[in-house]
Amino acid sequence: MSLQMSEAEGAVKVEEWQQTFYASDSGIQSGATTIRDEEESEFCKKYSGSASAVESDTDVETQYSLTRAQRVRAAMFPETLVEGEAVLTTQNNPDQPTNVQRLAEPSQLLKTAIVHLINYQDDAELATRAVPELTKLLADDDQVVVNKAALIVNQLTRKEASRRVLMQSPQMVSAVVRAMQNTGDLETARCAASVLHSLSHQREGLLAIFKSGGIPALVRMLSSPMESVLFYAITTLHNLLLHQEGAKMAVRLADGLQRMVPLLKKSNPKFLAITTDCLQLLSYGNQESKLIILANGGPDSLVFIMRNHNYEKLLWTTSRVLKVLSVCPSNKPAIVDSGGMQALGQHLTGSSQRLTQNCLWTLRNLSDAATKQEGLDGLLHILVSQLGSDDVNMLTCATGILSNLTCNNARNKALVTQSGGVESLIHAVLRAGEKEDVAEPAVCALRHLTSRHPDAELAQNAVRLHYGIPAITKLLGQPHYWPVVKATVGLIRNLALCPANQAPLRESGTIPRLVNLLLKAHQETQRHGSGAQQTYQDGVRMEEIVEGCTGALHILARDPINRGEIASMQTIPLFVQLLYSYVENIKRVSAGVLCELALDKQSAEMIDAEGASAPLMELLHSPNEGIATYAAAVLFRISEDKSSDYRKRVSVELTHSLFKHDPAAWEMAHAAMPLDPGYIPDDLDAVYPPYGYSDIPMDGLPLDAELHEQYMPEMTYDPRQVYPNPL
């Protein structure tokens, strides 16, 4: 508000003011409410001695007769002083301002406020008188008239008082909306859009726009070729989305998303920041909106922005949209395919904490869809370095992303292993403590690194070399959070593949912990019955724990000392029982561990004593080659000391399973081999011809010459050896 009035104007103004509502006498002119004259005179007399320059005695006297009120008036309204009238200052010391001087600034502020009020009332009155007329003119058939009216209305929005009047008139706001959407004139549209934009800074204005159908009209303006119209429209819509209830639904219904997504191709960063924020407001928690964004090419444009801009606020708002979209199963692969992982990975080392964190959460959400992506080397390096952070959010994200990106991806596994990822992950596990959101993915990542890639052995050794084994074993202890236990058991299995790890694993007490977990989990499965019923704890099936523990013990049993320890813990009966499991994997690992344990004669006898032969015979027929192999091996090993009858039965079963899918060969073998109980000699010391038996017709059975040669002289007779077939 301009205060540059001349003295005369000021005097007039005040006079006018006095004739208005504010007519009560404040004493500015008359001094009516000020201190009594006697006191003032006393005051003046007291300090008059040191008064500054005096022209003459007469002047001095005139000055002294001025009241303080007059001095205040003079200080506040110098423009109201009568010409020639000057105020003598009572200031004694230049460094010490007088009371009036001290009053000067606050009183100036008060004066400004008073003047504002005066003008406010003027503006309000003017606007109130003008609104009905302007409303009519905005609907005029003559576009020139409409244009002029729009210009005036736009001017009126510049002042607060008149702006308020406008927004309080629904008819006016409607007229502006109609004018904006019906006009063919760009300038009119611009003015109208500007009006709505001005009104959108107050709640009253937002409500007026909303009620007047402003949202569909503004959405239509998003297709305008004029940049300023676009700017006004998007900003107004943004304000509506932020503060007006019902606006989100209205924008969606007006196809706002379909119009906004194409705007992402614009280049103005501030415009883009508002647009992306609108998209985030519209799509948060609304699946349909996310799908519309996808259908209009949103992921591509958003990733482009992340890759090519560096305005922090824009990057932040865009990362928020990507974060919202990253939980949508349809958007996820689209973002990944557009290079989203690489683009987000560009912003993990900058100074904006909020941007870094948003990118990390988004990457974590996307990571399970990105296991086959290429070009992630840079991202993987950054994530490994972030494993050193103390920020739990950063650790949660880094471990989670690494766990997924190393899943079934040999290249990523090798890169992370070679970048010191094993050591960093061990430190993350140590720092995670009981934070499962860090511990579980960290252990899973280690599990991935220690198997199924050329550098797996390097990783297995690195865990030991970086003192990881005790820390990992500790994770098997109470309290059990089963997802972490499951991951740890799998990791231990992989670590045991490395012979150098067998002793450290044993020394850290892994075997008893695994056996106890196995027993506990198995008891749970038995308690809840078998078959279709499955027991879950923390989202993990106890059958998975049984399988994992047995699998780890299987590999640990490759070491002879471990093997002895495992057998000594009375585990053989349980392993034999597990051969009957309905879970194929459990059958496999239990056959596997028994196969290893059976290398020791004493254990082989125990296995046999537990009645393992029957289920093992069944498992010979398994279509799973691993299962059949282990079963056959255990049977070989437990039958070494057996009677010939037993060995015959085993050989028959083996043969039967061999010819299961080749009936003709089975028939032929049957014919050649009378199932005579005496065909395998009881007398184990007898020497038998290396091939053929007396009751087998030799002609018609071509013998492999090489086999014949090998068989004859070098064969060491071993009575325990199962004989080559009968016959």
Partner 1 sequence: MNREEAPGKSPEEMYIQQKVRVLLMLKKMGSNLTPNEEAFLRNYAGVVHSQMSQLPQHPIDQGAEDVVMAFSRSETEDRRQ
Q: Give the total of residues touching partner 1 (CB under 8 A).
A: 94
The one among 163, 448, 506, 648 contacting partner 1 by CB under 8 A: 448
Applying CB under 8 A, among 289, 338, 473, 651 the residue interacting with partner 1 is 651
311 touches partner 1 (CB under 8 A) = no
312 binds partner 1 (CB under 8 A): no
User: Minimum distance between the CB of residue 377 and partner 1, rounded to whole angstroms?
Assistant: 19
Q: Scanning residues 393 to 432, which ones bind partner 1 (CB under 8 A)? A: 400, 403-404, 406-408
Decide if residue 455 touches partner 1 (CB under 8 A). no
CB 233 within 8 A of CB 221: yes
Our CB check for partner 1 shows the closer of 84 and 697 to be 697
**Using rule CB under 8 A, residue 368 touches partner 1:** yes
Q: Does 500 bind partner 1 (CB under 8 A)?
A: no
How many residues are given for the chain?
727
Query: Which of 162, 198, 301, 358 is in the footprint of partner 1 by CB under 8 A?
Result: 358
641 lines the binding site for partner 1 (CB under 8 A):
no
Q: Residues 122, 561, 660, 682: which binds partner 1 (CB under 8 A)?
A: 660
Q: Which residues contact 455 (CB under 8 A, 6 or more apart)?
A: 413, 414, 417, 418
Stretch that binds partner 1, among 172-180, 532-540, 575-583, 718-726 (CB under 8 A): 718-726
Q: Which of 202, 201, 204, 200 is nearest to 218 (CA)?
A: 200
φ, ψ at 186 (rounded to 5°): -65, -35
Residue 367 as a binder of partner 1 (CB under 8 A): the answer is yes
Sign of CA dihedral 500, 503, 508, 514: positive
Q: Which residues touch 687 (CB under 8 Å, ≥6 apart)?
A: 717
Residue from 247, 336, 366, 394 binding partner 1 (CB under 8 A) = 366
Q: How far is the CB of 566 from partner 1 (least distance, A)?
A: 14
Footprint of partner 1 on 601-630 (CB under 8 A)? 620, 625-626, 628-630
490 binds partner 1 per the rule CB under 8 A: yes
**DSSP H or E run through 115:** helix 99-138
Instruction: Mark the segment that binds partner 1 (CB under 8 A) among 33-41, 91-99, 104-112, 437-445.
Output: 437-445
3-state secondary structure 537-599: ECCEEHHHHHHHHHHHHHHHCCCHHHHHHHHHCCCHHHHHHHCCCCCHHHHHHHHHHHHHHCC
Of 277, 223, 281, residue with least CA distance to 252 = 281
Contacts of 696 (CB under 8 A, 6+ apart): 672, 673, 727
Identified binder of partner 1 from the candidate list 1, 512, 710, 719, rule CB under 8 A: 710
- When the beta carbons of 239 and 326 are compared against partner 1, the nearer one is 326
Site for partner 1 in 581-600 (CB under 8 A): 585, 588, 592, 595-596, 599
CB 127 to partner 1: min, Å: 34
Residue 368, strand partner residues: none
Instruction: Check residue 345 for interaction with partner 1 (CB under 8 A).
Output: no
Looking at residue 357, the DSSP 8-state letter turns out to be H
Q: Is residue 340 at the binding interface for partner 1, with CB under 8 A as the rule?
A: no
704 part of the interface to partner 1, by CB under 8 A: yes
Number of other CB atoms surrounding residue 64 within 10 Å = 16
Write down the least CB distance from residue 662 to partner 1, Å.
6
Q: Which is nearer to partner 1, 166 or 540 (CB)?
A: 540
The reply on whether position 52 binds partner 1 by CB under 8 A is: no
Q: How far is the CB of 624 from partner 1 (least distance, A)?
A: 9
User: 455 or 596, CB closer to partner 1?
Assistant: 596
What string of DSSP letters covers 408-458?
T-HHHHHHHHHTTHHHHHHHHHHHHTT-HHHHHHHHHHHHHHTSSSTTHHH
Q: Is residue 392 at the binding interface for partner 1, with CB under 8 A as the rule? A: no
Which residue of 68, 197, 248, 364 would you call a contact of partner 1, by CB under 8 A? 364
With contacts defined by CB under 8 A, name the span among 90-98, 169-177, 535-543, 710-718 that binds partner 1. 710-718
Residue 386 interacting with partner 1 (CB under 8 A): no
* Window 664-703: residues binding partner 1 (CB under 8 A): 664-665, 668-669, 672-673, 691-692, 696, 701-703
Q: Which residues contact 517 (CB under 8 A, 6 or more apart)?
A: 476, 480, 485, 489, 545, 549
461 binds partner 1 (CB under 8 A): no
Interacting positions 125-184 with partner 1 (CB under 8 A): none
Stretch that binds partner 1, among 56-64, 106-114, 501-509, 631-639 (CB under 8 A): 631-639
550 near partner 1, rule: CB under 8 A: no
Residue 645 burial (10 A CB sphere; 0-12, 13-18, 19+): exposed
Figure out which of the listed residues 129, 372, 411, 720 binds partner 1, where binding follows CB under 8 A.
720
Q: Are 346 and 355 in contact (CB under 8 A)?
A: no
Of 256-295, binders to partner 1 (CB under 8 A) are 284-285
Q: How far apart are CA 79 and CA 131, in angstroms?
A: 35
Specify the residue, 548 or 615, whose C-beta has the smaller distance to partner 1: 548
CA 622, CA 590: separation in Å to the nearest integer? 14
- Cβ of residue 521: shortest distance to partner 1, in angstroms? 15
- Whose Cβ is closer to partner 1: residue 163's or residue 588's? 588
> What does the alpha-carbon distance between residue 15 and residue 29 come to, in Å, rounded to a whole number?
10
In the beta sheet, which residues pair with residue 541? 536
Nearer of residues 131 and 722 to partner 1, judged by Cβ: 722
Smallest separation (angstroms) from partner 1 to the CB of 603: 12
103, two tokens: 């009053």
444 binds partner 1 (CB under 8 A): yes
Minimum CB separation of residue 404 from partner 1 in Å reads 5
Nearest CB to partner 1, comparing residues 91 and 725: 725
What residues are paired with 86 via a beta bridge?
A: none
Sole binder of partner 1 in the list 547, 565, 608, 653 (CB under 8 A): 547
Look up tokens 């941007």; give the residue: 355
Residues numbered 70 to 129 that lie near partner 1 (CB under 8 A) are none
Neighbours of 2 (CB within 10 A): 6
Residue 540's DSSP bridge partners are 537
3-state helix, strand, coil in the chain (%, to 5): 70, 0, 30
Going 353 to 358 to 359 to 361, the CA torsion angle's sign is: positive
